[in-house]
Structure 1
Amino acid sequence: MRVYELRNVSYRYPTGEWALKGINMEVKRGETLAIVGPNGAGKTTLLKIMDALIMPTEGEVLFEGKPIREKTMTDREFRRKVGFLFQSPDVMLFSATVLDDVAFGPIHLWGRREGIERAVGALKLLGIEHLSGRHPYSLSGGEKKKASIAAVLSMDPEVLLLDEPTRDLDLKNRNFVIDMIRGWKAEGKTVVVVTHDLRLIRLADRVYVLDKSLLFEGTPKELFSRPELIERANLDVPEIVRLFHLLEIDEIPMSVEEAADIIKRWKRFNP
């Protein structure tokens, strides 16, 4: 079943510049989808349209088969189902305490008592319940990211829209976020992630390359087989991909372990 269907979606800034032009894409229930592209490609704008924060200038977006309209922005059922993790946690953290921020959404949907319970549960899940009384601006970057994730999880969304979730994080916190997304994927949640992180791209079932219009749609392995597209998307070409192209091995690995298996088989037939 399609969760999202975008039909010829375009968006023009008030300045007259087009951010997106003629986007046709779909997101299937339970899949993890990566959207990649250079800075200024319209990736964040696309997520905002999918979250009903802005409306397209042209075209139509369907969510679960129904058109997204301006009234969708305040629709309780849509807000319960769809969670949006902004690139900057500061956009999501605006209250006096972390607990107030995490409980803000669920309180509006389920009332204060259940909202607080959901917020406390999300903080415990992320191991940051000790931060509940802290002012958000007193937190480290990694703590802010976890608090913003808790604000999303407290709503228990079925669909997660993630804008550069590992950006500006140290290795430990990048690994934490990647493991969290891997867990959502295992639970069957629908995940749409804008990213430059190659490890997140490898988790995806499908990848779209976006530069105002769509340049490519396919699997991560198909993308990594085309270095020119990787560079067009402003991604680092993985060294292991460079190596396989230099060796003229057509099969592209998605991990070091897979690369070792391919090389062993290749050596067997090319002594």
Structure 2
Amino acid sequence: MKVYELRNVSYRYPTGEWALRGINMEVTRGETLAIVGPNGAGKTTLLKLMDALIMPTEGEILFEGRPITEETTTDREFRRRVGFLFQSPDVMLFSATVLEDVAFGPVHLWGREKGLRRAREELRKLGIEGLADRHPYSLSGGEKKKASIACVTSMEPEVLLLDEPTRDLDLKNRNFVLDMIRHWKDRGMTVVVVTHDLRLIRLADRVYVVNRKVLFEGTPRELFSRPELIERANLDVPEIVRLFHMLGLKEIPLSVEEAVDILRRKGFRP
């Protein structure tokens, strides 16, 4: 089932500059979709359009077959079902305590008693219940990211829109976010993620390369098979991929383990 369908979607900034032109895109239920491209390519704008935070200048966006309109902006059920994780956690953390921030959406949706209970449950699931009474501005970058994730998942969404979720995080916290995305993927949630993180791209079922328009749509393996396209997307070409191209091998691995298996089958021996 199609969760999203974007038909010839364009968006123009108030300055008159076009951020996106003629975007055609589909997101199916339960898939993990990565959107990649250079800075300023319109990727965050694309997520905001999908979350009904802004409306397209041209074209239309369907959510489960129904057009997203101005009314969608204040539709409580849409807001519950679709969660948006902003690139900067500070956008989402504005209350006196982390618990109040995480409970903000659930309280408005289900009332104070259930909302606070949901918030505490989510903090516990993420292993950050110890942050409940902390002021958000006293948190580290990784703690802020975890708290902002809890703000989204406490609403029990079915669709997650993630804007650069691993940006500016150290290795431990990047791994935490990657593990969360694997967990959501295993649960069959629909995840759309804007990212430059190659490990995260490898988790995706499909990838779109966007630079104001769609340049490519395919699997991560197909993307990694085209180094020139990776560079146009402002991504580092993985060293393993670079090696395989230098060796003239067309079968491209997505992990070290795959690389070893392919090389052994090709007759390479350590």
* Pairwise TM-score range, normalised by the shorter structure: over 0.9
Question: What do residues 59-117 of structure 1 show as CA deviations (whole Å, max 9, x unaligned)?
Answer: 00000100000110110110110000000000000111100100000111111111001
Distance 1:106 1:72 in 2: 19
What secondary structure does 1:267 align onto?
coil
**Match of residue 87 from structure 2:** 87
Q: Does 1:165 align with 2:165?
A: yes
Aligned residues between the structures: 269
What residue identity is the alignment partner of 1:163? Answer: D
Distance 1:90 1:70 in 2: 26
What secondary structure does 1:134 align onto?
coil
Distance 1:188 1:102 in 2: 23
Distance 2:70 2:92 in 1: 21
The alpha-carbon deviation at position 159 of structure 1 amounts to 0.2
Distance 1:137 1:194 in 2: 25
Q: Does 1:149 align with 2:180?
A: no
Q: Does 1:78 align with 2:78?
A: yes
**Match of residue 43 from structure 2:** 43
What secondary structure does 2:259 align onto?
helix
TM-score of the two chains, using structure 1 as the length reference: 0.98
**Match of residue 4 from structure 1:** 4
Q: Does 1:56 align with 2:70?
A: no
**Match of residue 117 from structure 1:** 117
State the Cα RMSD in Å: 0.8
**Match of residue 16 from structure 1:** 16
Gaps of 5+ in 2: none
TM-score of the two chains, using structure 2 as the length reference: 0.99
**After the TM superposition, which segments of 4 or more aligned residues of structure 1 sit over 3 Å from their partners?**
none
Distance 2:201 2:158 in 1: 20
What secondary structure does 1:3 align onto?
strand
What residue identity is the alignment partner of 1:88? Answer: S
Distance 1:118 1:8 in 2: 39
Distance 2:122 2:68 in 1: 28
The alpha-carbon deviation at position 160 of structure 1 amounts to 0.2
What secondary structure does 2:266 align onto?
helix
Question: What do residues 92-147 of structure 1 show as CA deviations (whole Å, max 9, x unaligned)?
Answer: 00111100100000111111111001100110011111111111001000000000
Distance 2:78 2:151 in 1: 16
Distance 1:207 1:185 in 2: 15
What residue identity is the alignment partner of 1:238? Answer: P
